[in-house]
Amino acid sequence: MNRLPNDSKQSALILNELNNFMTLRQRWWLSKFFILLFFIITPLILAYATGYHINWRYLKLEKTGLLEIKTVPDKAQININELKAWLDQTRNLTTPLKLKNLRPNNYTVNIKLSGYHDWRKILAVKPAETTFAKDIRLFKQAIPVWLEALPATGTITTSLLDSDKFNLNTKNPTTSTINSLITEKELITNWLETRQIKLACSLPDKKIAYANQFELWLADPKTKTTTLVGRFSQSINWLICLPDTNNYLIYGHDNSWQLIELDDRQGRNIWKLADLDQLGAAAINKKSDQLYFYGRIGSTTGLFSLAL
């Protein structure tokens, strides 16, 4: 009768020792696991901190890149499609923006600001490089505003340039001859065929934008090279270089104002600024935020302004 309690005590001691043994064993394995985890994670953290990431597809370390975006005006909303898989989309991305440690890839950047035309472009981020999108100007979604009547033969040049009423930019007016913008000395090697040029204007960086009937070009007198900007199905009747940017041109067909972006990465953005029934001569103000033009919309003819 006395052996049962002793046997119970002995069994309890054995079970307790077994539990202690299992706990120690678990602790041993757990410590080994954390040590192994430390040696795996630490190099990854250090690699990320120094601008690398793991390309799991090819199982190799790659140097990351940086994307910098600025707009005028700022505070525009940015959405980047390729970040949805690994960046918290509740984060509010606005301009100006600098994104570090981006995987080398093509990124579809969409920029929106209320009251302005959207901007969209695919930008390539390369290893150990910074991809800049800094010369982005957002243009207003506006409708032409009638200002005053002008005679049918009136032009912007004769009615406005002699007055400060609209504070026009007169430094680089559009001309019908490129010879007033590029000297004979600069054309001496015949690198530019001038006979077919219909319109021309000068950009702030001294490049010359010019148009023949259906094509828009850029000429660089410094390098003596030309670049095709675009071909269009409608005749180009008006061309305006903005005084504050090298990245945009305004051009007019018979019945519309168009805007084209000169940054040709993954194609050029083109926006329609306004539809009209008839379009005439135009000028832009010094602040580059108003376009003045003679035209007709419906039965209304005269001088109009368009906010940019």
Tell me, what's the pLDDT at 138? 97
Tell me, what's the pLDDT at 115? 97
Nearest to 261 by CA among 66, 79, 71, 124: 71
Tell me, what's the pLDDT at 161? 46
Whether 287 contacts 278, CB under 8 Å: no
- Note down pLDDT in tens along the chain; length 308 residues: 445 456 666 666 666 665 665 566 666 676 777 777 766 666 556 556 655 655 555 556 678 889 999 999 999 999 998 886 555 444 689 999 999 888 888 999 999 999 999 999 999 999 888 999 989 999 999 999 999 887 655 455 545 544 567 788 877 778 888 888 888 888 878 889 888 899 999 999 999 999 999 999 999 999 999 999 999 999 999 999 999 899 999 999 989 999 999 999 989 999 999 999 988 888 898 899 999 988 899 989 888 999 99
Q: Which amino acid is at 297?
A: I
Tell me, what's the pLDDT at 195? 87
Tell me, what's the pLDDT at 159? 53
Whether 238 contacts 218, CB under 8 Å: no
Rounded to two decimals, what is the model's pTM? 0.78
DSSP category for residue 170? -
Tell me, what's the pLDDT at 162? 47
Tell me, what's the pLDDT at 219? 95
Tell me, what's the pLDDT at 294? 86
Question: Where do the structural domains in the chain lie, given as residue ranges?
Answer: 60-137, 145-307
CATH number, domain 60-137, options 2.30.170, 3.30.310, 3.10.50, 2.60.40: 2.60.40
Copy the structure tokens of residue 251.
């051009």
Copy the structure tokens of residue 192.
């530019």
- The CB density around residue 192, as the number of other CB atoms within 10 Å, is 19
Rounded distance, CA 116 to CA 73, Å?
10
Tell me, what's the pLDDT at 302? 87
Whether 192 contacts 206, CB under 8 Å: no
Tell me, what's the pLDDT at 182? 85
Tell me, what's the pLDDT at 209? 96
